[in-house]
């Protein structure tokens, strides 16, 4: 407060206010104004925030909300609000009750976040004169004008639009907010007293007004309205809401974006209003917690909209500028196709150069696939004029003819917005801990349940990636796009803003050749995953595949999970797996099995892989070159030939002699076979079938038949040394138990059928034999884990234990990054009650 005499002329025709501060007393930090009387003259209120709200988005709004809370409904109509660096000031008159309440709080107001700010009051700073600015008069004039300008929204006429009421231009010198109960009461009184216009009212739009208390609406009760829109306010108390609306009736109540809807017992806490309103936020009371489609409660598919079929396609141009919903009806009498397969066929007919096509609110109703679309007239025109309203099924060349109903519904506030849903879904897919955006099976995200987002559309895929690029410009290092039926990725340039992006997973899509993803080659990618795409079948040899990919992505260091930099010159295993779940078979089961088979001490452990119904067969067609060592080579091969199933002299009566059944019998045979060492660099693997219940695994390569350890009396070997053999093994495996282990993710595998075949190795295999050293498990040195490996260990440990990240890091580091030791340490600490409940997510 400056106490500087001045004159306030608002330029609106009102008499100026002359501030002369006749009483110099300024009250602060006290509970009484003594013998002074507020009277009807102007008082100055100062809020001493000392710059604490400088970086708040709307400091004035925060301060006024606190003042409205403090005055608690008493008449309080401030004018001439002035922002200051440390102090904000305003004038008010005829507000003795409000001033009394401020003094009762010792001239202090509490902000929403809990902070307290002191205020001061100087009474009678200016004498009130007739025709000076009067807030109630201005408010009444604006409300009366708006009552003569009722609007229509969502097909409902006669709505009084008081949205963001305080933002009206006429209030530039006033502080007006319907969050102030006294102003809301004043507005309701003006409406109630206007007998000429009041009966035309069909509803109220009161959104975006920071309203907490709606008690003044009781003045407008006992009338049947169409709408009461209270969205985006500050309504928290269900008890106050129900009490205030006890006699208020309308077809629909809108409460979206109020704190009350986020309370755990909502909507049960407003159950008493069920007879007052048919709908709340577009849904019946009993379906408030469910996603309700307009097809369920708003649209009558028999009569709403105008039908377009092959008989009246000429009418379609009438709807070119329509913003409304249009319905598609595709007959399928026996529901031959589920939703996903149906859209796979339907999307084939769309034109990828036209507007994005987002089917919404899909349902199968009375033998028909039904969905809604809007804002895509060019696509609709294409489907009508160029495709003749026909959906063709490529297999069998069948045709499904369909029809449309145009303009079945206007677009309402609570209806789904496809692009908003996409933005929300992309945000939810980001894993900050791993700096990874996981868009795998993107269409199945929960927030996309009412809209079909197909990444097989290049334009939609580009839009999704552009959203991701803007949101995670400097943070995302990996994007997973697997299982999205992607055919073409020609908009990868939008990812150029992602300065940290180094890895993309495109596995299990529909990419047919590298030219379809050529735009990715302009990004500085280090890792790319392409397995499971049709393009992998274009190459006979792994080396051809690697060379082709490297031509487009020369900077790659990792392809399909294989490190090309650590092992230069190595070709990838021929391992185009039919499912990502099959990786555990190649990476875990197969390697462990072969390692145990190599070791005489561990070979008996193979018993765990077999059951009493397992079958094992062995064949051998190694052709021995006749020379002086032939007898010794034949001796070394004798153990294979002894148990081989080869038919000798075509004696079919002995065909079953080489079939071994049962775990005990099979392991007994395996223990009689020679000790070997596999050349893991030579292995080629293939999982030809995998469905989660079983798999067929094939592995072929080179092994070394180790010489016997027996020595002669002179200390030299009596054998001829190492013998290199070609081999192949085929396993048919099943999973007989699941949900095992701490993380309930482990499965127990059993070999149902196995065939081992021994043959001559190729000259190339012999020439390159054991050119890369793969140390035995027992000889492997413990190396420092890479950062990626450590990240994966932390994520896995968190998933297994349920701990928050800080505790995960602490325990794993204490165990020197040894996962097994870390698990034991966790179990011990948990048993000793050293881990608090707060440590668990």
Q: How far apart are CA 122 and CA 27, in angstroms?
A: 6
User: Over 80: is that where the pLDDT of 747 sits?
Assistant: no
H helical segments located in 246-300: 294-297
Between 288 and 730, the more confident residue is 730
CB 89 within 8 A of CB 45: yes
**Whole-number CA gyration radius for the chain:** 39
Lowest mean pLDDT among 297-311, 578-592, 724-738, 807-821: 578-592
Give the DSSP letter string of 605-627.
Answer: GGGGGEEEEEEEEEEE-PPPPPS
CB 402 within 8 A of CB 391: yes
* pLDDT at site 268: 83
Under the banding of pLDDT at 50, 70 and 90, the label for residue 652 is low
User: Over 70: is that where the pLDDT of 659 sits?
Assistant: yes
The average pLDDT across 245-266 equals 89
H helical segments located in 474-563: 542-552
The CA–CA distances, whole Å, from 726 to 100, 561, 683, 763 equal 98, 26, 10, 11
CB 474 within 8 A of CB 499: yes
What pLDDT, in 10s, does the model give residues 481-491? 999 999 998 88
**How would you class 176 by CB atoms within 10 Å of its CB: exposed for 0-12, middle for 13-18, buried for 19 or more?**
buried
Under the banding of pLDDT at 50, 70 and 90, the label for residue 716 is very low
The whole-chain average pLDDT of the chain stands at: 84
Q: How far apart are CA 105 and CA 751, in angstroms?
A: 79
What pLDDT, in 10s, does the model give residues 534-570? 888 787 666 678 888 888 998 888 888 777 765 444 4
The average pLDDT across 257-263 equals 86
* Among 834, 798, 779, residue whose Cα is nearest residue 434: 798
Dihedral class, residue 208 (left if φ above 0, else alpha if ψ from -120 to 50, else beta): left
User: Over 90: is that where the pLDDT of 359 sits?
Assistant: yes
**C-alpha 247: how far from chain center:** 42
User: Over 70: is that where the pLDDT of 597 sits?
Assistant: yes
User: Over 80: is that where the pLDDT of 21 sits?
Assistant: yes
Lowest mean pLDDT among 115-119, 255-259, 355-359, 825-829: 825-829
The CA–CA distances, whole Å, from 299 to 325, 408, 833 equal 10, 7, 59
* Among 126, 141, 138, residue whose Cα is nearest residue 92: 126
Among residues of the chain, what percentage have pLDDT more than 90?
37
**Structure tokens, 279:** 């709908």
pTM: 0.48
Under the banding of pLDDT at 50, 70 and 90, the label for residue 815 is confident
* Among 665, 535, 684, 679, residue whose Cα is nearest residue 606: 665
* pLDDT at site 98: 92
Lowest mean pLDDT among 332-336, 400-404, 414-418, 740-744: 740-744
* pLDDT at site 831: 82
* pLDDT at site 176: 92
* pLDDT at site 407: 92
* Among 306, 339, 345, residue whose Cα is nearest residue 325: 306
Between 680 and 124, the more confident residue is 124
The average pLDDT across 756-772 equals 80
Give the DSSP letter string of 171-215.
Answer: GTTB---TTSHHHHHHHHHHHHH-HHHHTT--EEE--SS-----G
User: Over 90: is that where the pLDDT of 746 sits?
Assistant: no
**C-alpha 226: how far from chain center:** 36
User: Over 70: is that where the pLDDT of 210 sits?
Assistant: yes
Q: How far apart are CA 484 and CA 508, in angstroms?
A: 8
Tokens 């309205």 found at: 225
Other residues' Cβ atoms within 10 Å of the Cβ of residue 620: 20
User: Over 70: is that where the pLDDT of 336 sits?
Assistant: yes
The average pLDDT across 158-183 equals 92
Q: How far apart are CA 125 and CA 25, in angstroms?
A: 10
* pLDDT at site 281: 85
* pLDDT at site 494: 87
* Among 208, 227, 223, 224, residue whose Cα is nearest residue 157: 227
* pLDDT at site 254: 93
* pLDDT at site 816: 81
> Best-predicted range by mean pLDDT among 22-36, 532-546, 585-599, 778-792?
22-36
User: Over 90: is that where the pLDDT of 381 sits?
Assistant: yes
Under the banding of pLDDT at 50, 70 and 90, the label for residue 403 is very high
The CA–CA distances, whole Å, from 197 to 216, 335, 360, 526 equal 19, 54, 40, 70
Q: How far apart are CA 502 and CA 745, in angstroms?
A: 29
The average pLDDT across 675-700 equals 81
User: Over 90: is that where the pLDDT of 330 sits?
Assistant: yes
Q: Which domains does the chain have, with CATH numbers?
A: 6-127 (3.30.70.330), 135-287 (3.80.10.10), 306-409 (3.30.70.330), 418-568 (3.80.10.10), 577-708+720-768 (3.10.450.50), 787-839 (1.10.8.10)
Under the banding of pLDDT at 50, 70 and 90, the label for residue 647 is low
Among residues of the chain, what percentage have pLDDT more than 70?
88
* pLDDT at site 577: 47
User: Using alpha carbons only, what angle is made at residue 305 by residues 300 and 307, rounded to the nearest 5 degrees?
Assistant: 110
CB 426 within 8 A of CB 437: yes
Q: How far apart are CA 704 and CA 722, in angstroms?
A: 6
The average pLDDT across 585-614 equals 82
User: Over 80: is that where the pLDDT of 140 sits?
Assistant: yes
The average pLDDT across 440-468 equals 90
Beta bridge partners of residue 660, listed in sequence order = 616
Q: How far apart are CA 310 and CA 401, in angstroms?
A: 9
Q: How far apart are CA 519 and CA 522, in angstroms?
A: 6
**Structure tokens, 346:** 């339907």
Q: How far apart are CA 791 and CA 779, in angstroms?
A: 25
Q: How far apart are CA 109 and CA 48, in angstroms?
A: 10
**Structure tokens, 139:** 């408010």
* pLDDT at site 718: 46
């Amino acid at each position: 407060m400056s106490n500087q005499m001045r004159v306030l002329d608002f330029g609106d025709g009102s008499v100026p206010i002359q501030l002369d501060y006749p009483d110099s007393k300024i009250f602060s930090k006290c509970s009484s104004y003594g013998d002074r009387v507020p009277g009807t003259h102007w008082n100055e209120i100062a809020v001493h925030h000392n710059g604490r709200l400088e970086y708040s988005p709307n400091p004035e709004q925060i301060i006024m909300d606190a003042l409205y809370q403090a005055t608690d409904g008493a008449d309080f109509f401030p004018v001439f609000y002035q922002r200051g660096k440390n102090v904000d000031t305003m004038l008010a008159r005829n507000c003795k009750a409000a001033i009394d309440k401020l003094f009762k709080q010792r001239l202090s107001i509490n902000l929403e976040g809990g902070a307290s700010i002191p205020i001061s009051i100087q009474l009678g700073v200016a004498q009130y004169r007739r025709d000076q600015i009067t807030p109630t008069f201005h408010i009444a004039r604006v409300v009366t004008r708006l009552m003569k300008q009722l609007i229509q929204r969502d097909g409902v006429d006669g709505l009084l639009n008081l949205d963001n009421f305080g933002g009206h231009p006429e209030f530039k010198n006033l502080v007006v907010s319907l969050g102030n109960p006294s102003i809301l009461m004043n507005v309701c009184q003006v409406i109630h007293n206007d007998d000429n216009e009041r009966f035309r009212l069909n509803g109220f739009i009161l959104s975006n007004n920071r309203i907490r208390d709606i008690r003044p609406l009781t003045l407008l009760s006992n009338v049947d309205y169409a709408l009461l829109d209270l969205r985006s306010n500050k309504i928290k108390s269900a008890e106050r809401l129900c009490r205030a609306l006890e006699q208020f009736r309308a077809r629909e109540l809108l409460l979206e974006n109020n704190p009350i809807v986020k309370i755990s017992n909502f909507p049960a806490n407003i159950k008493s209003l069920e007879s007052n309103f048919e709908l709340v936020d577009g849904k019946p009371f009993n379906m408030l917690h469910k996603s309700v489609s307009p097809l369920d409660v708003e649209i009558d598919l028999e009569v709403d909209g105008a039908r377009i079929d092959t008989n009246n396609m000429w009418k379609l141009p009438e709807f070119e500028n329509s913003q409304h919903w249009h319905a598609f009806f595709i007959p399928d009498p026996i529901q031959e196709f589920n939703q996903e397969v149906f859209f796979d066929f339907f999307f084939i007919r769309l034109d990828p150069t036209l507007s994005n096509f987002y089917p919404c609110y899909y349902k199968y109703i009375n033998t028909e696939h039904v969905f809604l679309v809007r804002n895509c007239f060019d696509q609709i025109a294409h489907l009508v004029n160029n495709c003749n309203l026909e959906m063709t099924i490529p297999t069998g060349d069948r045709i499904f003819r369909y029809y449309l109903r145009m303009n079945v519904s206007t677009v309402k506030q609570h209806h789904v917005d496809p692009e908003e849903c996409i933005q929300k879904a992309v945000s939810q897919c980001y894993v900050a801990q791993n700096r990874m955006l996981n868009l795998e099976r993107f269409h199945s995200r929960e927030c996309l349940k009412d809209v079909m987002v197909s990444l097989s559309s290049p334009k939609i895929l580009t839009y999704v990636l552009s959203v991701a690029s803007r949101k995670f410009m400097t943070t995302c290092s990996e994007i997973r796009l697997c299982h999205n039926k992607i055919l073409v990725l020609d908009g990868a340039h939008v990812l150029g803003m992602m300065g940290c992006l180094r890895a993309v997973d495109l596995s299990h899509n529909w990419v047919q050749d590298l030219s379809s993803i050529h735009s990715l080659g302009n990004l500085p990618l280090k890792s790319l995953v392409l397995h499971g795409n049709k393009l992998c079948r274009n190459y006979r040899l792994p080396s051809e595949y690697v060379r082709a990919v490297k031509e487009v992505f020369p900077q790659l260091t990792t392809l399909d999970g294989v490190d090309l930099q650590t092992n230069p010159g190595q070709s990838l295993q021929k391992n185009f797996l039919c499912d990502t779940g099959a990786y555990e078979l190649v990476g875990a089961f197969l390697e462990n099995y072969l390692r145990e088979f190599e070791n005489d001490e561990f070979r008996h452990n193979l018993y765990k892989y077999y059951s009493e119904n397992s079958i094992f067969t062995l064949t051998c067609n190694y052709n021995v070159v006749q020379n002086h060592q032939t007898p010794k080579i034949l001796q070394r091969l004798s153990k294979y030939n002894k148990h081989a199933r080869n038919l000798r002299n075509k004696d079919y009566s002995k065909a079953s002699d080489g079939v071994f059944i049962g775990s005990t019998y099979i392991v007994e045979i395996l223990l009689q076979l020679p000790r070997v060492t596999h050349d893991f660099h030579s292995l080629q693997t293939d999982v030809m079938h995998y469905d989660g219940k079983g798999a067929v695994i094939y592995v072929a390569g080179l092994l070394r038949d180790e010489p016997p350890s027996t020595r002669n009396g002179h200390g030299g070997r009596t054998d001829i040394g190492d013998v290199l053999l070609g081999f192949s093994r085929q396993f048919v495996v099943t999973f007989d138990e699941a949900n095992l282990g701490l993380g309930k993710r482990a499965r127990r595998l059993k070999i149902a059928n196995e065939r081992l075949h021994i043959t001559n190795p190729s000259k190339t295999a012999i020439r390159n034999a054991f050119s890369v050293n793969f140390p035995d498990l027992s000889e492997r040195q413990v190396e420092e884990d890479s950062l990626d490996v450590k990240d994966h260990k932390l994520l896995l440990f968190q998933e297994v234990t349920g701990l928050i990240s800080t505790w995960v890091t602490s325990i794993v580091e204490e165990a020197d990054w040894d996962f097994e030791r870390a698990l034991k340490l966790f179990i011990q600490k948990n048993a000793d009650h050293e881990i608090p409940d707060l440590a668990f997510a």
